[in-house]
Each structure stands twice: as structure tokens, then as C-alpha cells.
Structure 1
Amino acid sequence: MTRCARFLLRVLVLLSALASPTLFAQVPEAQIQQLFPKATRIEPKQADPPVQSVYQLDELLGYAFESTDYSNLQGFSGKPIRLLIGLDTRGVLTGVTVLEHHEPVFLHGLGEQTLYDFVDQYRQVSVGKPIVVGSRTAAGSAGDSVTLLDGVSKATVSVVILNETVLLSALSVARKLLEGFASGPLATPRADLHESLDWAQLLARGLLQHWTITRSELESALGGTLDDYPEIDPEYDSQPFSELYFAYLNAPMIGRNLLGDEGFARLNEELKANEQALLVLSSGMYRHVPDDFVPATVPARLVLMQNDHAIELHDMNFNNGAVKDQLNIPVGMSMEGFEANIFRIKTHNAFNPAEPAGLRLNVRLQRNHLVESSTQLTRGFQLDPYLFETADPLVVVDPAPIWLRMWHERWWQISLLGASLILLTGVFIWQHRISRNSRGFHLFRAGFLMFTLVFIGLYAQGQLSVVNIFTLLLALWNDFDIRVFLMDPVIFILWSFTFISLLIWGRGVFCGWLCPFGALQEMLGWAAKGLRIPQWKISDRSHHRLQWVKYLILIGLVPTAFFSLTLAERLAEVEPFKTSMTLFFLRSWPFVLYALILLGLGLFVHKFYCRYVCPLGAGLAILGKFRLFSWLERIDACGQPCQHCKHQCEIGAIKRDGRIDYDECIQCLECIVILNNEGQCVASISARKKAARAARSAEGELIVTDATQPRTSEAL
């Protein structure tokens, strides 16, 4: 294999590793350790719910989990924000770590440290009450019933989405695993249902389960003989490997008959609200708890199963030594050799006693100090539904969609923007009538561009970008979700209006009236005129060649987005929008210098960036080719011989023959102003002069005619 081939092979292996979803499948334990500094043991990730349990010795500290396992909410970039979240057993967040994100405002704007500072606010915040990003006003009148987090200026949408991701994920885990968050059991024992039953009757009716595991059954499960395990005493060959009795105690039909009225009452006193209890007795070579089992802990050998979900059993330390003596066992039956425990089933497990369940025994046998064998044996059971009163599950009312809340919070911005777009549409519809007053039209345009720069750009953050095109294309390529685009109402409304206007009038409505950076460039052009800065003359040939630069930039950016969105976002810094509009030049000096150079060029070449560099303008020009109308009026004199509009068009969008280049036209309507102004349109001036000359010629002929007429006697 040649050196070049080996190099290409390494590149392909690296790319395949980067593209593999398993690259991010496991979170390093060091990151979980940062969320739980006291942790001594971190369990592997379980399936349902997908969390990693974190312990300090045998004490459960909480759970670590990834947000993408619970929320598919996409960030402003169109990709989910991947978070590692820590939640303790009280429902308090131990911290949030950002594992992966594509939010451009942090990656290439404010900096990622701003994002990390924001997520640090989640430490020691309870998910038991709403968490709101923003000011007290945003929280409404809730007062202390909500937790307020400081937002990030210029990144409102991104942090609101991140906050929603944290809440959706943490509450999903809390409702499944924590007390006080989950609803009570869907089936509750009927307190009025009881009849006296002895041990044999409880067994016969399935209210008490008897499970015997023989030596041969275990050997079959292990795939080998028990003779290989020194801890198994050969003298016990005649005994079962394990013999178990177990029963659900909350139902009076079972608990009162096994524990007696006094024992059953005391059990209910020790159980917390909606908790349940399970009695387990075992004997044989392998009991359900080892000899060194610590009371009031979780047994490693025993677990309750329901719907393929493992439910931890917590020893109640319910006077375990006397439990056997309290049991109503038949005369002649001995509990000698049996170990007895009553286990607590906590509320957050949402165990439903009326549905099928199973008791699982985890068997671990040591072959030697290096080799261990393990297997699991499960005994399924189901109690008679007649013992319970069933209720419909509590319906958790989902909050209003995040996009809808964003629209409610920004209602006045939406209203003002909508009114301005209606006004602009009216100007385009009645352009000829409005443009007859040249001074009035120019004052209106100056005011509208100031509104675009200050309100749309700097305040409402409505600067459209080529990154928005990436997001749209990737959404169409993958699973399109309109909610991603509804997150920012100002951007959504502007894009909707721009798209509609593209199909009607072309690209110029946005580029000439609604682009904040374009408005800033135009104002610099006004300053250049006021300062009498000489303008560079660019020949038509060079002008047409330079126009292709922005299309080449667009062609390079779009395919890159499908390969690497992060790389495409970095390359999209060819747009100075983030530096100038989003961050208002509060950024590292290379980005500021680049934006200032582009603006500086605009002092010598009118709207230099728009004409030759802007990839967004190139994309809009391509879509604008599908417009319905070429609506800017031309007359016969335009271009032949009149060149006045061409010379006055500072963007260079009028050809020598008078035709409009709609791909480059920003629709400033200056040519319409000239056309409708008799003092500016050369054709109108020429027609007026011809009319004047014709009038003077007619008047001269009339005078000559009068002079040659013979005088009458009356006249004499």
C-alpha cells in the first residue's frame, strides 16, 4: 500500500469515527463525578429510564442522564443542545454540563464561556417549581413560586430552548424515579375487602407465592455444574438451591392474614403515602440476602420487575428478626433456616400491583478470586385485580409550547414589525403615487432604513443570515419541524415576508429595505456624500465579474453545511452580521476589523458588501428568478438614448439598454422617483422642451401670418 493510500485510509477511518453515533454514546465518568463530587460508585446506564445511578458507598445520591434521551427539542441552529444533567434524590439539580451544541451565537459570537456561565445557574435549583429565564416581569406574578435565571443578552432564543430542554429532561426523570413527583399507584388496595385465609388458602389463591429453584435449574441457567463453585457446600445437594415465599402486603386480604391486625396496622404507620410493601422469605443454599446484608439498604440479589423495568426494593428494617414469629403459618410448619424481610416499594417507581410483575433473583457465584459467574432467574406473578380499586392515571398537563410562549412575550415587537411590513407593502403597491413627491419619498425611505437598523437589527435581532438557509435545508433534508423556525417570531415573520416578496417582486424588497446591515451601509453612503469622499469608479466589466464572488461563496457554504454544520457556521463568518448587529462590535479584534474593513469599503464603493460578497443576497437572487413580475416600469427612452437612471443607480443594477437587472436590484425605487418626476426624467424634460419649442414655433408662425395679412379699410 502506498503512502498516499495509507493516508487516505486513515482519513476515512477518522471520518467514520467522527460520524459514528457511538462516539457520543458514553459520557466519561469524570464528567458525572463533577456533578456528584461525593460519588464512589457510578452504575452503568440503564434502559428505562435511561439514567446512570450514582452512589456514595451504598447510599443513592441521584441520577445522571443525557437530555437527548428525553427531549428532541432543536436549538436555534436546528440541532439539539446535548446536555449532561445531574439530579439528586430530592429533585434538586446538582449541575448541568454542555456536552455538544451548535448555537452560532455562542460558537462564533459571545463565546462558549457565556453559555457555561448560564448553565452554572442550575446548580442546586429544584425542579419542583417552574424555572424561568429572564426578569421578574417574564415570570409574571408568580413571585417566589418560580426560580428565576438570568438570561443572556443577544441569545434569548438559545437559552430559552436550553432551559426548556433541562426542564423536560429533569421532570421526565423525576416523575419516574423520585418521590413527590410521580402520581400514586394506578391501583390501590380495597380497604374494605378482607376475609380470613390461612397459609394454604393464600397459596392456593396466588396471594402468597412459593418459588423453589432447584440445583439442576440453576446449573442449566449457568451452563455448568455447581461443583465448580467452592462456596456451594456439597452437603446441601439434597436441598433446593433457593426456596422463596413472597407476598404483596398492602392488600388487607394478604397483609392482615400474614401479619395479623396489629402487625398490619404498624406496617401502614411506617409506610409513607402511596408506598407499598413486599414480604420475602427464603432459605436454601442461596437466600435472597447474604449473611452480611446491612439492614435498611437495597439488596443486590433481589429486584422487582414490571414492564421490563427494574424496581429497587428498600429494606424497611421492620423488626426483621420477629417477622417470622408474626406470620400466621400452619401448625407443624417451621420457618427455621428462613431469612425474612419486608421491603419498601417507593412511590416514584409507580409500581402497579394489579398488573403482571415478577420477582428477580440475581445469582452471582465465585468460581475463584478472578472468575465469577452470574445469571438471573425471574418468577412472574399477577394478583387478582378484584383486590384493587383502579383509577385513571393522572394527566400531566404539558405547558404551552415554547414557541407559543415566545410569541406571547414578544407580542408588541410582532405588532410593530407587522405594521411596518404592511406599510412597506403599501409603498410598493402605490409606488407611482408616492414617488411623485421626491423629497417626501426620500425622507420616508431614510426613516424606514433607520427603523430597520435600530429596531429590526439592533433591538429585535432580526438580521437574516445565510445560516438560516443552512437550518432550512438541513430541516428539509432530515425531519422538518416548523417549531424550530417559530422559536424566534421576528426572524420567522421576516423570512415569511421575504419569501412571499421574492415570488412577487424579487430579492430587492429585503435587501433594499429590511436588511439592517444593508441599511447601515446605505447610511454610510449618505455620510460619504456629505463628506464628499471620492467614489471609486468600477467598470461595467469588472462590476459584472465581481458580482460572481458572492455566488461562489454561497456554492462553497451550502454543501459544507451537509458535511459539517459547525464548519459551515464558522465559514459563514464571511457575513459581518453577527459582529455588527448581534454583538454590536463587542467581539475579538479580527472579527471587528473585518467588519470595519467592509464598512470602510462602503465609503468608497456604494454598498460594497451587498454587491460583491453577501452569500445571503446571492441565495435570495437565485430564488428571486422565480418571481411573478418584472414590475419596475420602463419607457421607450430608457437606455435609448436616456442613461440618467443608469448613472443614478448606485447599486449598478440598470443595464446600458435601460433594462433592470433584477438579480442585483435592491428596489430602492430611485428609478421610479426619477421616472415620475418631470424635473428629473430626461424623457419628460426632453418632451417638455419639444413641446415648448413647438409652442414657440407655432406662436412665431402666428405672428408672421399676422404681419403678412392685408389691412382693411376699417383697420385703417
Structure 2
Amino acid sequence: MIHIRLLITLCLLPFSVLAQWMEVTPEVAKLFPTATRTQVADEMGLTPVFQLNQQLGFVFESDDLVNFPGFSGESINLRVGLDMQGVIQGVEIVRHHEPIFLHGLGEDPLLEFIAQYVGRQIKHRFIVGSRQGKMADGRTVYLDGVTKATVSVMVVNDTLITAASKVARAKLQGFGGAEVSSLKQDNYEAASLSQLAELGAIFHWQMTLDEAADALDIQPGRLADVTNTSEGESFIDIQALFVSSPLIGINLLGQQEYQRLLDELAEGEIAVLLLSRGAFDFVGDDFVAGTSPSRLGLMQNEFAVDLRDIDFYSYYSPRVSDELDGYSNIRVFVIQGSSGFDPAKVMDWRLTVNLSNNFLLPRLGQLNEPFQLPESLTEPPPEAEVPLPLWMQIWKQRLTEIIMLSIYLLLLGILFTKQRSLSVRFGRYLPQARLVALLFTIGFIGYYTQGQLSVVNIYTLLLSVWNGFDIQVFLLDPVIFILWSFVFVSLFLWGRGLFCGWLCPFGAMQELVGQLAAKLRLPQWKPDDRLHRRLQLIKYPMLLLLVAVSFYSLSLAETLAEVEPFKTAVTMNFVRYWPFMLYALLLLAAGLFIHKFYCRYLCPLGAGLAILGRLRLFSWLRRRDECGQPCQLCNKQCQIKAIHSDGRIDYDECIQCLECLVIIDDSKRCVVSRYGNKSRKRTLNQNTGVKVVEIKTT
């Protein structure tokens, strides 16, 4: 009855536990073709993507991070692959309802548009639909727009860049993920424009034609021809005022207009009033209200800050301080709260100038001007605790699992260290103890903690040592790290058997299958010793092949590692594409007729552990002089055939089930002890004349 319950438990258990590691889905594979596995999405909806133990990046859907309504009134949901350097690896459309593409242009123009982002660094500044059609420098990217679909593609751009920037700042190094300063909101006092200028609160960029030509390394006359600038006229005269600050906004806009501006802003947004009266304006003739200017850009920490026109004066005439009279172009732009922009830090304003009057051969130049707001206008972010390293956070989250695993490993250590004394006193309880250990290994170590070790771990370690060892990579999975540390030490004490017999989930499955076969009295195929030894050698060239291939191609090595059924049977909970399922089930089915077939003949991980296990310091399993000569009981009882006919134990193959140790210490089972006792009784009778009677009790 207990075995029927056990079989039902094993059938249901794989589907009741959510695995931490997941197989690469076709959607992820399109964005990261070399990915070998993923993890469960985190609280932000980001799916970490790995090639072996190396993280390639993240896959996410934009709807989990932003919500920008499109022309249809609904968001455009994009699936994006972003690598660890902030480069966009791929973009796919999950859902959209833009009528211009669904019922007009078709989806091909939209697909061609998003394809322009692939391979781009998100630190770039993206300008959509500019006639300049090329990169002005290494940080500005001009993208071809879609005629008749300007609004829709702008929404796509905002959605993609904002979502990707959020991911980069939250997860990637070098993207300014720390908290930023904000503009003070309680510092209003009456002040004139000149007073604000003296305070350093106003960015005022002025440049004559000669100064601009010198900065652009071009003759002034050439620049005048291109920009239609008259000699003596100011080439650049731009002011930028951070009107989100009440000190600036109320004084320049008035209380009523300042309040109207606040009503237009979303939480965390910063409004910038831009004014121009120079010959070269900050927007060109092709500028579309509600978009980003192609000429003017803002950079901070080498990261492009998106400036977006809010068309603040579409229904209202500009109402600003009389001191700002004379400016021909007045617009309000916003910087989104998710941009990572820090108003307290140095910013770099940039103007892009077309230096060629030949449309077919454009030549672009860049003018830069740094600026920093005074400390009196900003306030630092609240002090945040220094976050723990990621591996420490993971260890803290999995503390319960770590404690339970450590207790089990401690018990195993005690059992193996005191195996001789424990076998004498408690040997009769070994079958029950083994059953509990096997179920714990499958259920807790295997399915719950995903602690199935693999040959992949071996060549991952070798490659890490070869390329520069970083222990933090291995600390990211505490269960695997603890198991490998324990197994490594145990190899030098007891050999391979402790892991293979007590810690391998798939090995435990095979052993339970073997117990089921014994209960069902299924016929067993037992090869002769010569054939058995030859079959045992198969796993060693398999190990060498996998290790050698890993130094050539990690992707190929990971594919070849599917010779292990561990990913299918344990990591994927038997929920996988049918060829992998069939392979794993066939290996388990083979165990019904050949005890632990995979472990004995095919397991490359076992081969690797056996090689290191040859360096063990002790041979713990007790032997008698009579073992093998003439007694063959342990040899016959050892189902894995790790005991030679001469009584020696093959520690390279032994799984340390301890059954032979219990037999040798059981006076009723061990042939030597049993018949030795009878001989001693006969000798005592002959010498004393007293007959010794053995009373059997039931």
C-alpha cells in the first residue's frame, strides 16, 4: 500500500511545485537566440535570461512598466530584449489597436519602424522623423518615421525608450539607478528675472556667428550661408527656465499660469520653459508640436534625457514676465520622472547644426553648453540604505530553504562519519531512513529548491576558472552553491557515492523505480562482469566531449548536455516538448529492468565526480577477510554491482547506500557471523560438556 501512495505522490509532485529555472520559450529565443534558460519574472515583470550561468539580459513587456495611450486610446504593448550593456536586442509587438496600421497602411511599416531600434544603446538620444536622417554624433540616432502615422510611431518610441530606461536604471550598472534630487517646492519669494539670473537659476546660452563658427571649425561665411544668418546677428540666444520650481515658475508665469502648468504635469515631471530669439532656433521647420526637437538635446551622465513638448500654448497665448519680451519662440517642454534626470547635477545642452546646404550630403555639427542649477533650488533625495549585494538578497530570501538543506546535510555528515556504530545499533531502520531521504531529495532538493546538480555546473566552473573566477556568480544560487561545496568536500572523504546515493534527485527517482520493480517482481537484466565494466566506461568519454565542446561553444555544450534528463525531469517538472519527455521517461522505464541504468552507464556528472572521488582519503565501508573468499552475499545483494567478486568495493561506482555495511554487522544476515557463531557453539559444547541451546523468540 505504501508503494502505491509513493507512486501517486511522485506522479503529482512535479506539477505541484513551481520551478525557479524555466526553459527558453520561442518568444525569448527570438530576442536572445543564444539563451539556454530563464528565470521566473520578478516584481517588475522582468524575465532574466541566461546562457548557462551568464546573464544575457532581460525580456519584458512595456505594459508592465509604462502606459502611454496611442491614437486608438489604448497602449501599444511591446516585448523587448535588453542586454546587460543596455543594448536593445530585439523588439516585438505583442498588441496594438492603432487604426492607421490595422485598417490603412498595414503592419509592415510598423515592423520596419521598430526594427530600427535593434542594436541601439538606450543611452542614445532618439529623434523620430527627422530629415537629417543620420547620426549627428555617437549619441544621437535619427529614425525614419512613418508617413501618416506620426502620432502612433511617437507613442511607440516613448513606450519603448521609457520602459527600457526604467529597466536599465533599476537593473543595470552605469545607468544612474540611484534616487535623484528634486526641485524645492517651498522656496517661493518674489524675484525679478535679473535676480534669478544672478542666483544662477536661468540657463542663458548666447553665441555670435564667429563664436559658433569657431566652435564648429567652419568659416563664418559658410555658416551664415547655411543658416541664413546676417553678420552681427546673434547666432544663438536661448534661455531655459525650470518653471517647475515655484521660485522660477510663479515669478515668470504668475500664480494662475503656474497652477495651470502644474495641472498639466504628471507626478515627477519637470517642466522647462524654452525661449529663443537668435538666428538659429532650437526647433526647425519640421518640428511637430508634442514631439522632441531634433535640434536641441539634453544630456546628463552621458545619457540622453528626453525633452517632450507639451504644446502648452496650443489654446493659450504665452503669458510670461515682461522681462522676457523679444523672444520669438516660447515653448514648454517636460522631462519625465522616469528619465533619471537629476536637476542638482551638471547637465549638457546640445544643439545640432546642419553644416551643408546639400540635402543629399548632410554634414552635422554639435554645439555644447554645460549648466548646473544652484543648490538653493534643489533638495537631495532621502538617504537610502545601501542595498545588499544581489547574492546576499537572494540568500536572505531563501533562508528557510538554506536552513532545511543545511540540517539535512549535517545529518548526512553525521551518518557517514559514524556509519559503523550507527549500522550496528540502527541498521534495521535503514530501509525506512533511505525512503525518507529519497523522498526528501526528490521533493525538497529537486522540485522545491531546484537543487539538481548537473554536468553543466562542472564546465561552467572550469570556464570561470579559465576566464577569471568570480565567486559572486556562483553565490547567486545558494542551494546549488551549498550542495556543490558539500559534495566537493565529501568527494575527498567518501568518494562519489554520497551525492549519487543521497543528494541526486534523478538518482533518487531511479532508485524508487527500482524498488517498485522489485515489488512487482519484474525480471532484471544483469550483465556479466566483463560487459558491465565496459558499459560503465561509456560515461567518461561523454564527460570529456562535453567539457571540450564547452571551451569551443557554450551554446553547443548546453545542447549536448541534454543527454542528462535532469532539466526535463526536475527543472521543468516533466512539462516540456515531447521528445525530451520521452527520453526522460524511457530512462526511468529502463530502470524497471536494469537497476539505475542511467546512473551506472550514462551519467557524465557521475563520471566527473568519480574522477575526483579517486582522491578520497578513506575507505569507510567495513570489509571482512572472508568477504569475496568465500562469501559472496554482499556481491549478490549489491544491485548496482559496485562490489567485486573478490570482496573489494569499487568506490568509483558505489552509491553508498550502506546496505552492505548493515549486512556485515547483522549477525543473522552476514554468512561469516552466522556460521562463525555456530562453530563457536560446537567448540564450547565439546570443551565443557554443557550443551548450549539457542532459544528463538518471535
Q: What is the 5 A alignment of 1:590-609?
A: 590-599=579-588, 601-609=590-598
SS, match of residue 62 in structure 2: strand
Partners of 1:588 and 1:248 lie apart in 2 by 57
Partners of 2:441 and 2:202 lie apart in 1 by 76
Cα distance, 1:353 vs structure 2: 5.0
Letter in 1 for 2:62: L
Cα distance, 1:425 vs structure 2: 4.3
Aligned to 2:78: 95
Q: Do the aligned residues in 1 keep the contact of 2:181 with 2:381 (CA within 8 Å)?
A: no
Normalising by the residue count of structure 1, what TM-score does the alignment of the two structures yield?
Answer: 0.64
Cα distance, 1:272 vs structure 2: 6.2
Alpha-carbon distance change, 238 to 553 in structure 1, aligned in 2, over 3 angstroms: same
Partners of 1:307 and 1:90 lie apart in 2 by 26
Q: Do the aligned residues in 1 keep the contact of 2:229 with 2:235 (CA within 8 Å)?
A: no
Partners of 1:327 and 1:466 lie apart in 2 by 76
Letter in 2 for 1:376: Q
Aligned to 2:124: none
Give the count of matched residue pairs: 568
Choose from 375, 383, 390 the match for 2:365. Answer: 375
Cα distance, 1:344 vs structure 2: 4.3
Choose from 570, 576, 588 the match for 2:565. Answer: 576
Aligned to 2:55: 80
Aligned to 1:62: none
SS, match of residue 653 in structure 1: coil
Partners of 2:281 and 2:96 lie apart in 1 by 44
Cα distance, 1:441 vs structure 2: 3.2
Q: Deviations along 1:452-481, whole A, 9 cap, x unmatched?
A: 455555666544332333444445555534
1:655 aligns with 2:644: yes
Partners of 2:546 and 2:346 lie apart in 1 by 56
Alpha-carbon distance change, 676 to 219 in structure 1, aligned in 2, over 3 angstroms: same
**Structure 2 segments unaligned to the other structure (5+ residues):** 1-29, 33-41, 69-74, 85-90, 98-161, 692-698
Aligned to 1:45: none
Cα distance, 1:290 vs structure 2: 3.7
Cα distance, 1:372 vs structure 2: 1.9
Cα distance, 1:568 vs structure 2: 1.8
Partners of 1:100 and 1:254 lie apart in 2 by 40
Partners of 1:698 and 1:233 lie apart in 2 by 128
Q: What is the 5 A alignment of 1:501-540?
A: 501-529=490-518, 535-540=524-529
Aligned to 1:614: 603
SS, match of residue 378 in structure 1: strand
Cα distance, 1:640 vs structure 2: 4.1
Q: Do the aligned residues in 2 keep the contact of 1:226 with 1:232 (CA within 8 Å)?
A: no
1:434 aligns with 2:423: yes
Please give the root-mean-square deviation of Cα atoms over the aligned residues, in Å.
5.0
Choose from 272, 282, 286 the match for 1:288. Answer: 282
**Structure 1 segments unaligned to the other structure (5+ residues):** 1-29, 33-66, 102-115, 124-165, 703-716
Q: Deviations along 1:322-350, whole A, 9 cap, x unmatched?
A: 65984237xxxx83x84444544554456
Aligned to 1:680: 669
Partners of 1:174 and 1:426 lie apart in 2 by 45
Partners of 1:261 and 1:535 lie apart in 2 by 92
Q: Do the aligned residues in 2 keep the contact of 1:186 with 1:393 (CA within 8 Å)?
A: no
Q: What is the 5 A alignment of 1:121-160?
A: none
Alpha-carbon distance change, 359 to 511 in structure 1, aligned in 2, over 3 angstroms: closer
Aligned to 2:112: none
1:188 aligns with 2:171: no
Partners of 2:532 and 2:415 lie apart in 1 by 30
Q: What is the 5 A alignment of 1:397-408?
A: none
Q: What is the 5 A alignment of 1:238-277?
A: 238-249=232-243, 276-277=270-271
Aligned to 2:16: none
Cα distance, 1:499 vs structure 2: 3.4
Letter in 2 for 1:287: D
Cα distance, 1:634 vs structure 2: 2.0
Partners of 1:175 and 1:482 lie apart in 2 by 16
Letter in 1 for 2:380: A
Partners of 2:486 and 2:213 lie apart in 1 by 73
Partners of 1:167 and 1:296 lie apart in 2 by 19
Aligned to 2:556: 567
Aligned to 1:364: 354
Q: What is the 5 A alignment of 1:45-124?
A: 75=50, 77-85=52-60, 87=62, 90=67, 94-97=77-80
Aligned to 2:122: none
Alpha-carbon distance change, 353 to 679 in structure 1, aligned in 2, over 3 angstroms: closer
1:236 aligns with 2:230: yes
Aligned to 1:35: none
Cα distance, 1:571 vs structure 2: 1.6
Q: What is the 5 A alignment of 1:328-477?
A: 328=323, 335=326, 338-349=328-339, 353=343, 355-385=345-375, 387-388=376-377, 390-393=379-382, 395=384, 411=400, 420-428=408-416, 429-435=418-424, 439-453=428-442, 456-457=445-446, 461-477=450-466
Partners of 1:654 and 1:188 lie apart in 2 by 80
Q: Do the aligned residues in 1 keep the contact of 2:522 with 2:592 (CA within 8 Å)?
A: yes
Partners of 1:170 and 1:352 lie apart in 2 by 15
Alpha-carbon distance change, 95 to 447 in structure 1, aligned in 2, over 3 angstroms: same
Partners of 2:253 and 2:426 lie apart in 1 by 98
Letter in 2 for 1:368: N
Partners of 1:410 and 1:459 lie apart in 2 by 14
Q: Do the aligned residues in 2 keep the contact of 1:86 with 1:93 (CA within 8 Å)?
A: no
Alpha-carbon distance change, 83 to 366 in structure 1, aligned in 2, over 3 angstroms: same
Partners of 2:367 and 2:377 lie apart in 1 by 28
Aligned to 1:666: 655
Q: Deviations along 1:479-498, whole A, 9 cap, x unmatched?
A: 53446555464x55544443
SS, match of residue 80 in structure 1: strand
Choose from 322, 339, 342 the match for 1:327. Answer: 322
Partners of 1:615 and 1:356 lie apart in 2 by 57
Alpha-carbon distance change, 296 to 628 in structure 1, aligned in 2, over 3 angstroms: same
SS, match of residue 557 in structure 1: helix
Q: Do the aligned residues in 1 keep the contact of 2:183 with 2:379 (CA within 8 Å)?
A: yes
Cα distance, 1:313 vs structure 2: 4.0
Partners of 1:211 and 1:520 lie apart in 2 by 74
Q: Do the aligned residues in 2 keep the contact of 1:505 with 1:627 (CA within 8 Å)?
A: yes
Cα distance, 1:377 vs structure 2: 1.4
Partners of 1:576 and 1:293 lie apart in 2 by 59
Alpha-carbon distance change, 548 to 93 in structure 1, aligned in 2, over 3 angstroms: farther
Q: Do the aligned residues in 2 keep the contact of 1:249 with 1:277 (CA within 8 Å)?
A: yes
Cα distance, 1:614 vs structure 2: 1.4
Partners of 1:587 and 1:233 lie apart in 2 by 64
Letter in 2 for 1:645: C
Alpha-carbon distance change, 304 to 324 in structure 1, aligned in 2, over 3 angstroms: farther
Q: Do the aligned residues in 2 keep the contact of 1:75 with 1:484 (CA within 8 Å)?
A: no
Alpha-carbon distance change, 74 to 432 in structure 1, aligned in 2, over 3 angstroms: farther
Partners of 1:544 and 1:188 lie apart in 2 by 79
Cα distance, 1:240 vs structure 2: 3.6
Q: Deviations along 1:383-422, whole A, 9 cap, x unmatched?
A: 544x4353345638869968856875794x6666555545
Cα distance, 1:363 vs structure 2: 1.5
Normalising by the residue count of structure 2, what TM-score does the alignment of the two structures yield?
Answer: 0.66
The 10-residue stretch of structure 1 (297-306 or 370-379) with the greater mean CA deviation from structure 2: 297-306
Identity %: 42
Partners of 1:572 and 1:484 lie apart in 2 by 19
Partners of 2:355 and 2:319 lie apart in 1 by 28
Q: Deviations along 1:168-203, whole A, 9 cap, x unmatched?
A: 974555899xxxx99774342763544556x5x776
Letter in 2 for 1:94: N
Partners of 1:390 and 1:617 lie apart in 2 by 60
Aligned to 1:40: none
Alpha-carbon distance change, 284 to 515 in structure 1, aligned in 2, over 3 angstroms: closer
Partners of 1:559 and 1:625 lie apart in 2 by 22
Partners of 1:530 and 1:443 lie apart in 2 by 15
